[in-house]
């Protein structure tokens, strides 16, 4: 499928390129390069690799033609391409090259663009100080352009950087500076955006009322043309009301945002609004309104980059079902929420592990740098030695004129050697300087990685091939009560409950044998002996050259609270099941008492009509009692096997009438059915089957009765047929004309299950009942 899409995208790119070449003259190579840049801009999103190939073609032409402006623009767009593919180091290299090129040709506007892009990358990489340096440099460059839109963009980026550093006062100051500049140029769109930024800062600070005032004013002033801005403002206002626990007001604005996102056909915004609105409905205890929105929102948010939306949706469902006491549903959605939350944390942990691996590579580079430093010292000594030799030879040659020829030859040789040594020394000096820069960067990265491992919520450790810890993050004190240094003095089993030592050993051996990471749950021990539940992910490390196992990196998370909640929910579910089982048992017993009372009544009368009525009543009670008996005996307290129920019911009715000359045939598709549907269908079977035994075979006439039940799984349409080969129905009479209580009950029950009944006589009686089963009933 991906290959097919790529071919279509390639053909589309070729078509656009050919169209541009026909529409734009390109007599020179520079004009052809300009078309390549235009084409790369048009197809920059699909696919990025195709766009990059056109940029490379344009850059190649700029080098051949020695066109600095074209070089700079090619570099800038190549940086954008790398940035889209999240290759930030390569993107920054291209932006820096473009910055220098734009500066050399005096293109101030594009130079400012390059500075802004470099600053944004540094801010994304949490290098806020460097980002501010680039933005301030841009402000100095744009000093003469007091009303330049680029100057306003620089002020906005500075404010966003301070907001990311949680310096809200500075962020508001620079947002207002940008707002003032855009007001002078009457740039309405940017004015609204700056006001929205200030509202977001208030929201981050928890100043909900002040944020609400700003968003309300923007909503009034924005008009109806900018749908994207209106949708963003509705979401922000809904977030404010949600923080204030005003779920009705939050629902109002979430629904408005949903309507706008649907009009814009924005999939991500539509999913967000659906899940938020469904959460509001659940908070207002309106599950019927919430469910369709939540189902649709979860389907739209099924992409790989929208796990946070799925996490939010499952959390709303878990909280609602836990609040309403439906522990079974609460456990299902809590499991999904935990799975999604763990997936997000797992991606963060993988990033932390990659950080540790990069740290090890940088350590090797650091050691290599020290070796080069030693080589430099040796070469310096060699150079001094050769200088000494040169001086000694000069003295000897000066003392003797006879050896002038030899002196000239040696002098030329020495000069050549000296020049080579100087060139080598310069080369080594440059390389050493590069190594020193690398070591400095390595030190900075080490500090950053240490900050990450020290501040992550999980415990990270490195264990060698002998299961001895060689590194432990500072989270060890919070997890186990041990300082990192104390962890390094202990072996892995010391931190694990004895009941799980065998599991730990088997997982370790399996990880090494399969050369793949392992995830498992177990109980750990704190320093004071406290037992708690944890979850670990082990990633094995192997020597890249000989493939020998060298150790592993482990990430451990405290899941004690989650496990406790799971046990509580399981206990609640078990209690509910026992209660349901007891209810069905008591209902069955009460029905049995009713049957016994009717038996006593039947023994005290000889009135045939009354005996028939009591027998019919007894069969109806047994029909309902049989459902509860089957539910009590089964593991599922909501649904029963319908073929089994049908056979048991038919057996009870046949035993009541004791007609051995009538053969009973039952054909039924295998399925389960809930109690609300099973009881009316069972009563229908009871009435029609009893009627066949009583009236279809008079005078001891032999015959057979067929009961057939079929269901179409695709449509849910079910068909129940009860057919005998007896004397049949009176000719010319319709079912509506029968006044017997049994057939009236059948018609009422058919209406209850929203079914239809068709009666024929050819010559025996045939009853066909058709009805539809929903997924909930099956």
Does one domain contain both 739 and 707? yes
Which has the minimum average pLDDT: 419-428, 481-490, 506-515?
A: 419-428
The tens digit of pLDDT for each residue in 387-403 reads 655 665 566 556 666 66
| Domain shared by 631 and 670, yes or no | no
pLDDT at site 233: 82
Say yes or no to pLDDT of 3 above 50: no
pLDDT at 602 over 80: no
Share of the chain above pLDDT 90, in %: 3
Residues 669 and 776 in one domain: yes
Provide, rounded to the nearest whole percent, the portion of the chain with pLDDT above 70: 74
Residues 576 and 645 in one domain: no
Q: Domain for residue 466, yes or no?
A: no
pLDDT of the residue at 26 = 55
CATH number at residue 80: 1.25.40.10
Q: Does 744 share its domain with 712? A: yes
What pLDDT was estimated at residue 277? 87
Return the pLDDT at 456. 65
In a domain, 455, yes or no: no
Residue 176 lies in a domain: no
Residues 254-282 have a mean pLDDT of 86
pLDDT at 770: 94
Q: Are residues 89 and 72 in the same domain?
A: yes
As a whole number, the mean pLDDT across the chain is: 77
| Domain assignment of residue 15, given as a range | 1-106
> In this structure, is residue 710 part of a structural domain?
yes
Instruction: Considering only residues 395 and 235, tell me which one the structure prediction assigns the higher pLDDT.
Output: 235
Residue that finishes a domain, picked among 88, 106, 124: 106
Per-residue pLDDT tens digits for 437-478: 766 666 665 565 555 556 666 888 888 888 888 888 888 888
Prior bond to 311 cis, omega within 30? no
Torsion of CA 614, 620, 622, 628, to 10 degrees: -150
pTM over 0.75: no
Residue 44 pLDDT: 65
Same domain, residue pair 662 and 773: yes
Residue 10 has pLDDT above 50, yes or no: no
Looking at the fold, whether 645 and 760 belong to one and the same domain comes out as: yes
pLDDT at 646 over 60: yes
Pair 646, 767 in one domain: yes
Q: Are residues 504 and 494 in contact, defined by beta-carbon separation less than 8 angstroms? A: no
- With residue 722 as reference, give the H or E element that holds it: strand 717-724
| Tens-digit pLDDT profile for residues 506-527 | 888 888 888 888 888 898 888 8
Are residues 625 and 731 both part of a single domain? no
**CA pair distance 622, 645, nearest whole angstrom:** 12
Report which DSSP code applies to 737.
G
Residue 724 pLDDT level (bands cut at 50, 70, 90): very high
pLDDT of 6? 45
Would residue 204 count as lying in a domain? no
Residue 357 binned pLDDT confidence (cut-offs 50, 70, 90): very low
**Residues 246-264, mean pLDDT to the nearest whole number:** 87
Q: Is residue 402 part of a domain?
A: no
Rounded Cα distance between 449 and 359, Å, is 8
- State the pLDDT confidence band at 349, using cuts at 50, 70 and 90: low
Whether the per-residue pLDDT at 721 is higher than 50: the answer is yes
Sheet holding 549-558, edge to edge: 469-472, 459-464, 549-558, 531-542, 518-525
* Boundary of a domain, candidates 594, 616, 637: 637
- Shared domain for 737 and 752, answered yes or no, is yes
In whole angstroms, give the CA distance from residue 656 to residue 658.
6
For residue 352, name the pLDDT band (cuts at 50, 70, 90). very low
Decide if 115 is inside a domain. no
**Of 86, 106, 126, which marks where a domain is finished?**
106
Question: Does 614 share its domain with 678?
Answer: no
The residue-averaged pLDDT of 212-231 equals 80
Q: Which of 47-56, 65-74, 388-397, 535-544 is least confident?
A: 388-397
CATH number at residue 650: 3.30.565.10
Asked whether residue 290 is assigned to any structural domain, the reply reads no
How do residues 677-696 score in pLDDT, each as one tens digit? 888 888 888 888 888 888 88
Count CA atoms closer than 13 A to 276's CA, side-chain side.
28
Total domain count for the chain?
A: 3
pLDDT at 18 > cutoff 80:
no
Per-residue confidence band for 9, with pLDDT thresholds at 50, 70 and 90? very low
């Amino acid at each position: 499928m991906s290959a097919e899409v790529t071919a279509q995208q390639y053909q589309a790119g070729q078509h656009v390129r050919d169209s541009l070449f026909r529409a734009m003259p390109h007599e020179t190579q520079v004009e052809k390069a300009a078309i390549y840049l235009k084409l790369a801009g048009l197809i920059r999103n699909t696919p990025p690799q195709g766009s990059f190939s056109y940029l490379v073609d344009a850059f190649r032409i700029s080098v051949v033609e020695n066109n600095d402006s074209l070089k700079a623009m090619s570099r800038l767009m190549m940086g954008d391409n790398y940035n889209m593919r999240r290759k930030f180091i390569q993107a920054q290299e291209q932006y820096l090259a473009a910055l220098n090129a734009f500066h050399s040709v005096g293109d101030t506007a594009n130079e400012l663009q390059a500075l802004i892009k470099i600053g944004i990358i540094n801010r994304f990489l949490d290098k806020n100080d460097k980002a501010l340096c680039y933005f301030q440099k841009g402000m100095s460059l744009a000093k003469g352009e007091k009303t330049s839109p680029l100057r306003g963009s620089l002020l906005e980026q500075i404010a966003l950087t301070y907001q990311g550093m949680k310096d809200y006062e500075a962020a508001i100051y620079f947002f207002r500076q940008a707002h003032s500049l855009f007001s002078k140029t009457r740039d309405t769109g940017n004015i609204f955006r700056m006001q929205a930024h200030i509202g977001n800062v208030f929201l981050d600070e928890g100043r909900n009322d002040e944020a609400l005032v700003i968003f309300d004013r923007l909503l009034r002033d924005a008009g109806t043309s900018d749908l994207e801005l209106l949708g963003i403002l509705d979401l922000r206002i809904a977030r404010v009301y949600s923080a204030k626990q005003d779920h009705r007001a939050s629902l109002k604005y979430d629904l408005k945002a949903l309507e706008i996102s649907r009009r814009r056909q924005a999939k991500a915004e539509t999913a967000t609004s659906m899940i938020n609105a469904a959460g509001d409905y659940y908070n207002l205890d309106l599950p019927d309104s919430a469910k369709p929105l939540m189902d649709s929102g979860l389907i739209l948010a099924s992409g790989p980059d929208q796990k946070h939306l799925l996490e939010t949706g499952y959390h709303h469902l878990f909280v609602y079902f836990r609040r309403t006491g439906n522990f079974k549903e609460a456990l299902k959605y809590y499991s999904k929420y935990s799975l999604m939350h763990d997936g997000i944390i797992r991606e963060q942990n993988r990033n932390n592990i990659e950080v540790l691996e990069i740290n090890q590579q940088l350590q090797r580079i650091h050691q290599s740098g020290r070796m080069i430093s030693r080589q430099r010292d040796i070469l310096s000594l060699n150079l001094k030695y050769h200088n000494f030799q040169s001086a000694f030879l000069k003295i000897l040659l000066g003392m003797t004129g006879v050896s002038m020829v030899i002196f000239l030859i040696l002098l030329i040789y020495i000069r050549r050697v000296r020049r080579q040594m100087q060139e080598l020394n310069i080369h080594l000096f440059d390389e050493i300087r590069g190594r020193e820069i690398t070591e400095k960067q390595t030190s900075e990265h080490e500090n950053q990685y240490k900050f990450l491992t020290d501040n992550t919520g999980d415990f990270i450790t490195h264990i060698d091939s002998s299961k001895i810890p060689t590194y432990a993050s500072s989270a060890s004190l919070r997890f186990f009560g041990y300082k990192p240094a104390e962890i390094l003095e202990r072996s892995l089993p010391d931190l694990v409950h004895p009941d799980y030592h065998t599991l730990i050993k088997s997982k370790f051996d399996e990880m090494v044998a399969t050369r793949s990471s392992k995830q498992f749950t177990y109980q750990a021990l704190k320093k004071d002996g406290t037992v708690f539940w944890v979850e670990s992910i082990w990633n094995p490390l192997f020597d890249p050259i000989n493939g020998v196992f060298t150790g592993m990196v482990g990430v451990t998370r405290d899941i004690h609270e989650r496990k406790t909640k799971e046990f509580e929910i399981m206990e609640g579910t078990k209690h509910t099941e026992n209660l349901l089982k007891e209810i069905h048992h008591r209902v069955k017993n009460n029905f049995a008492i009713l049957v016994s009372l009717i038996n006593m009544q039947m023994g005290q009368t000889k009135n045939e009509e009354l005996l028939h009525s009591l027998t019919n009543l007894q069969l109806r009670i047994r029909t309902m009692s049989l459902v509860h008996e089957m539910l009590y005996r089964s593991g599922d307290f909501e649904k029963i096997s319908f073929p089994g129920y049908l056979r048991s019911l038919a057996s009870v009715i046949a035993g009541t009438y004791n007609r051995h000359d009538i053969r009973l045939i039952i054909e039924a598709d295998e399925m389960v059915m809930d109690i609300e549907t099973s009881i009316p269908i069972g009563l229908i079977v009871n009435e029609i089957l009893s009627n066949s035994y009583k009236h279809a075979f008079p005078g001891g006439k032999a015959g057979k009765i067929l009961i057939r039940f079929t269901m179409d799984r695709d449509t849910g349409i079910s068909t129940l047929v009860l057919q005998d080969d007896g004397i049949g129905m009176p000719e010319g009479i319709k079912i509506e004309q029968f006044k017997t209580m049994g057939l009236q009950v059948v018609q009422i029950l058919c209406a209850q299950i929203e079914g239809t009944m068709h009666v024929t006589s050819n010559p025996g009686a045939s009853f066909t009942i058709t009805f539809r089963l929903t997924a909930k009933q099956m």
